[in-house]
Amino acid sequence: MERLDISDVEPDEIAKACERICAPLASLIPYDRIGVALLEEEGAVLRLRWRRSKLPVDSLPVNYSAAINRGSLAELLATGQTRVINDLRAYLRENPGSDSTRRLVNDGYRSSLACVLRGGARAIGVVFFSSLRPFAYQNEHEQIYALVAGVLGSSFERAWLGEKLHRFEAKEHFFDRIVQDLRNPLAVIRGCAGTLLVLGAEADSPCSRSCESIIEQADNMQRLLTDIERIRDLENPEFAVEKQPVSVSGLLQTVDQGAQILARSKDIRFSVESLVPPEEKIDADPQRLMQVFGNLIANAVKYSAPRTGILFSVDHTPSEIVFSVEDHGSGIPRAMLSTLFGEGPARPRSLPTLFERSSGLGLSVCRKIVESHGGRIWAESDYGRGSVFHVAIPRSELSR
């Protein structure tokens, strides 16, 4: 299970959750100060996100942090056990480098209890109880403390996941409204330009050229909105590929039929080559994979000069089926290869040979689809001579 990610949860929401969850604990565990610290930066840092103290002074403020690289904190999180320190002054004498203990002692606290918070199978943070009295926490109550920590961890996990779901749904609703509000006027603009072109504009006149330009730009905007919607769909927590046994040779036939039409528009030779057995199958969502292959082939056509060639090939390793799209186009600068599949629009690697339009979002969509299959996608290029895009999908267990 992945570590619970609270990096995008608002501090106020964390504080509300802590108040709601920790308030009833006073009747179970005695404390004069309570603090909740959460793991951040991929588990490298423990940061105090909320605390309450009965004293007017508190030397451990919110956002106080400690690196989890060694010492007692690392051991505490690794074992998941509760930790009782019934004499903080004696502990500080033995561990003079503990800055947090020194601050607690200076504030007047004499004993402490630390309980690891867990989300699923992993630690997500620690709740610290501190008392002005020495020996306030008894080791024989360790099972009770561990039970309380488990309930706290589950409560925090549900609170944060619920908040993230609420904000996700609100964002989805807002996104849908924005996209629809953009699509509607675009359709009207395109329709008006088309009507003018049919009814009133002379061929090759300034008016007809303007109408054609308006129609082209409206179509580009519609394609951009479609790409954005595709990325949104892939980020939906409910998104899932519908895998089924898919014949590799059947995929190649489908790719070949569609690609021949696309390549013909620029007089490009499109060929298919297979080095896998005819009976080879993969567990995949065929529609999603065709979306990936269609995008890669469209890019290959876009960046290839007329009367060149594109090869769609498939090979295999002991664990993967590797599909490749090779073109002899403009190529990609080496510095751009690592950024092609990023979250945002990709920078154009060069100008399409016939100045075709692109939103730059297609490769990000491809990466998300391939990764949802447990696969990999990458590119190789000889700048100025062409590129090869590879998609590796795990082989079916029956084919290994």
Residue 54 clears pLDDT 60, i.e. is over it: yes
Cα→Cα distances 220→24, 52, 116, 229, 351, Å: 57, 55, 53, 14, 16
Mean pLDDT of the chain: 79
Q: What is the mean pLDDT of residues 173-184?
A: 70
pLDDT category at 400 given cuts 50, 70, 90 is: low
State the Cα–Cα distance between residues 147 and 305, nearest whole angstrom. Answer: 68
- What pLDDT, on the 0 to 100 scale, is given for residue 64? 92
Q: Residues 356, 298: contact at Cβ < 8 Å?
A: no
DSSP reduced 3-state for 65: strand
Residue 301 clears pLDDT 50, i.e. is over it: yes
Least confident of 135-149, 176-190, 242-256, 295-309: 135-149
- What pLDDT, on the 0 to 100 scale, is given for residue 94? 93
State the Cα–Cα distance between residues 326 and 261, nearest whole angstrom. Answer: 17
Q: What is the mean pLDDT of residues 163-173?
A: 60
Q: Which of 367, 276, 368, 272 is nearest to 320 (CA)?
A: 276
- What pLDDT, on the 0 to 100 scale, is given for residue 140? 59
Q: What is the mean pLDDT of residues 41-62?
A: 86
Residue 270 clears pLDDT 60, i.e. is over it: yes
Residue, of 207 and 223, whose pLDDT is higher: 207
Residue, of 234 and 72, whose pLDDT is higher: 72
Tokens standing for residue 248: 């590799």
Residue, of 93 and 19, whose pLDDT is higher: 93
State the Cα–Cα distance between residues 76 and 94, nearest whole angstrom. Answer: 17
Q: Residues 83, 76: contact at Cβ < 8 Å?
A: yes
Residue 351 clears pLDDT 50, i.e. is over it: no
Question: What CATH number belongs to 244-399?
Answer: 3.30.565.10
Q: Residues 350, 303: contact at Cβ < 8 Å?
A: yes
DSSP reduced 3-state for 302: helix
Q: Length of the chain, please?
A: 400
- Domain covering 11-162, topology: Beta-Lactamase (3.30.450)
- What pLDDT, on the 0 to 100 scale, is given for residue 163? 55
**Rg (alpha carbons) of the chain, rounded to whole number:** 30
Q: Which of 271, 249, 394, 279 is nearest to 326 (CA)?
A: 271
What are the phi and psi torsion angles at 170 (to 5°)?
-65, -40
Mention every residue, 6+ apart, whose C-beta is less than 8 A from residue 184: none
Amino acid residing at 91 = Y
- What pLDDT, on the 0 to 100 scale, is given for residue 215? 81
What are the phi and psi torsion angles at 51 (to 5°)?
-155, 155
- What pLDDT, on the 0 to 100 scale, is given for residue 206? 75
Tokens standing for residue 371: 């990764």
Encode burial over 13-38: b for 16+ CB neighbours within 10 A, e otherwise.
Answer: bbeebbeebbeebeeebebbbbbbbb
- What pLDDT, on the 0 to 100 scale, is given for residue 1? 36
Amino acid residing at 339 = T
- What pLDDT, on the 0 to 100 scale, is given for residue 172? 65
Q: Which of 311, 378, 290, 365 is nearest to 339 (CA)?
A: 378
Q: Which of 352, 360, 258 is nearest to 306 (CA)?
A: 352
What are the phi and psi torsion angles at 319 (to 5°)?
-120, -10
State the Cα–Cα distance between residues 291 and 295, nearest whole angstrom. Answer: 6
Tokens standing for residue 190: 């395109």
Beta bridge partners of 119: 122
What are the phi and psi torsion angles at 132 (to 5°)?
-75, -15
Least confident of 195-204, 296-305, 340-349, 372-381: 340-349
